[in-house]
Each structure stands twice: as structure tokens, then as C-alpha cells.
Chains A and B, each alone.
Chain A
Amino acid sequence: MRVGIDLVSVEQVRRAIADHGDHYLSRVFTPRELAETQSEPHRLAARFAAKEATIKALGATDEGLGWSSIGVAGDAAGRPGLELTGAAAELAQRRGIASLSVSLTHTGDHAAAVVLAGARS
């Protein structure tokens, strides 16, 4: 089992949207994340934290994964889960990761995420 954690300033997300608009949103977030969050900064901040926490849990800070290859997606009960695609999915496969769990939280100012990565037994 490996763990990753990240903390993000909501204000930085708000400013990134103001400074870079769609260039930022489309580069970092999946279409599903943009739809589920309605691009609200505090909710996007939590999702960015989840991406970084996932990269840490995978031990992949220098693997060159696009942020949009890691997405938070809620299940039918509204619980957040992680969806990996492309390079992130391939890396998780190579590293023998069988399961990923994520927990998100935010205040008005900050958002955080913790990710647990479980290896195949």
C-alpha cells in the first residue's frame, strides 16, 4: 500500500482560471470533472489535489503524466473514485497497482486529497 497527499490553494485555482481560462481547464481536467464540478474553483482545487496525490502514490513525480490522464469521477452514490487513462493507466499497470482510493476535502481557502494505492497481492 502506498499513500499520496496534496494541498491546493483555492485562490490559485481561481487565478489560473482568470489568467488562462480554457487553456488551463482543458489541459488539467477531464471533461467529466469539468461537468461534475461546473468548474467551481474549490471543487477543481480538490480534484487537482487528487491528481497530485495520485502521482505521489504511484511514485510518478518524474514520469511525465498529463494531469488529464488522472480524473476524479463520482460513483452512483456520489462517492469519489479515480479514473486513470493513457500514460497514468499504463504506469499503474506496470507498477502492479490493483486499486486506488481517494478522499477529498476543502475549506473556503484550501482543498486537499489523500490517495491510497494498493498493489496486486
Chain B
Amino acid sequence: MSADVVEQIRQVLRDHARLPVDVDGVDDHADLFQAGMSSHASVNVMLALEDSFDVEFPDSMLKRSAFESIAAIASALTELGAVAA
């Protein structure tokens, strides 16, 4: 994961995940749902990621595990070809 991609994901989380904790203090592999992200907030995150990275998540990727951590999101974006592996 490049630092730029991680920072871009963190910015989406700051704006849309509505976490009760500071996103800067969340480890790349920490569970975002455990950190307080609701299922509805994950929809906002998904839509904001689509806008930010100019991709569209297919329904088959709309699963909890794809959005459960910053690392998982980076992996999903890599799978979609939005960021370099």
C-alpha cells in the first residue's frame, strides 16, 4: 500500500465513516466496525471511495470484509485496478 493511497482512504474515512475515534489513531489493520463504523456509514464510505478513486464496486464486493479495515479497502481498490498493487 502506498502512503498516498492510505492517506486518501483515511481522508474518506474522516469525512464519511463517522468514527467516534480519531482516524489518525486507527491502525491500517484495525477493524473499522469494531471502531464504531455503522453499516450505514460503510455505505457512505463506499460511495465516497467510488467518487474519490473513480471506480465502481460491483455488488459482489459489497461485503463487510471489503470495508472492515484500511488495508482491506486498499486491497479492494487494488482488485478493482484503481490503485497499483
Contact = CB atoms under 8 A, between A and B. Distances in A.
Interface string B52-83: 00000001111111000000000000000000
A103 to B, nearest CB: 18
A65 B41 contact: no
Given A24-B47, A62-B65, A12 B40 contact: yes
A12 B64 contact: no
Contact of A66 (B18, B62, B65): B62
Given A19-B16, A27-B47, A64 B60 contact: yes
The number of chain B residues touching the other chain, given as a range, is 10 to 19
Contacts of A87: 59-60
Contacts of B65: 62
A69 interface: yes
A67 B62 contact: yes
A52 B39 contact: yes
Contact of A62 (B47, B50, B64): B64
A20 B48 CA distance: 8
The number of chain A residues touching the other chain, given as a range, is 20 to 34
B44 interface: yes
Contacts of A94: none
8 contacts: A16-B44, A19-B16, A20-B47, A28-B43, A61-B63, A62-B63, A64-B62, A64-B63
Interface of B: 16, 18, 38-41, 43-44, 47-48, 50-51, 59-65
Given A9-B38, A64-B63, 18 more contacts: A6-B39, A8-B38, A8-B40, A9-B40, A12-B38, A12-B41, A12-B44, A13-B40, A16-B43, A20-B44, A48-B40, A48-B43, A62-B63, A62-B64, A64-B59, A67-B43, A69-B59, A87-B59
Interface of A: 6, 8-9, 12-13, 15-16, 19-20, 23-24, 27-28, 45, 48, 52, 61-67, 69, 86-87
